[in-house]
């Protein structure tokens, strides 16, 4: 079920419907867009909100395409972190099982 979420970018408020599980990412995306637009505005290289918005979109897209490390840390989502934690949990369970099997079978433990 979608719910309205109000975000602010460059002094303007926008109400966007999104699912509750995507709300945090929407807010994070809005903050990234706002921050990028603000930097462009402060540089004085683009005039007018539409032009600043397009420049910000191009900068964000370029960083995403080129794999900018700064951008990666900004766009990394809670979902990504959850997937990482699940993967680590699986690896720990595998190691735990190997240790348990080694202890119960009196065989040497060979971890890779």
For the chain, the structural domain boundaries read 3-76, 77-112
The angle that helices 49-66 and 23-43 make with each other, rounded to 10 degrees, is 110
Higher-pLDDT residue of 53, 82: 53
Q: What is the structure's pLDDT at 12?
A: 93
| CATH for the stretch 3-76 | 3.30.160.880
pLDDT tens-place string over residues 40-74: 999 987 789 999 999 999 988 888 888 776 766 66
d(CA 20, CA 24): 8
Q: Which two tokens stand for residue 21?
A: 């599980």
pTM exceeds cut of 0.95: no
Q: Among residues 3, 10, 9, which one has the least CA distance to residue 24?
A: 3
């Amino acid at each position: 079920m979608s719910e309205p979420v109000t975000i602010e970018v460059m002094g303007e408020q926008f109400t966007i419907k999104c699912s509750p599980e995507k709300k945090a990412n929407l807010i994070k995306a809005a903050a990234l867009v706002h921050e990028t637009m603000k930097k462009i505005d402060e540089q004085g290289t683009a005039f007018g909100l539409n032009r600043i918005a397009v420049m910000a979109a191009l900068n964000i897209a370029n960083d995403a395409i080129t794999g900018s490390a700064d951008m990666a840390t900004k766009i990394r989502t809670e979902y990504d972190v959850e997937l990482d934690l699940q993967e680590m949990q699986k690896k720990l369970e595998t190691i735990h099982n190997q240790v348990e099997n080694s202890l119960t079978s009196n065989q040497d433990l060979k971890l890779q």
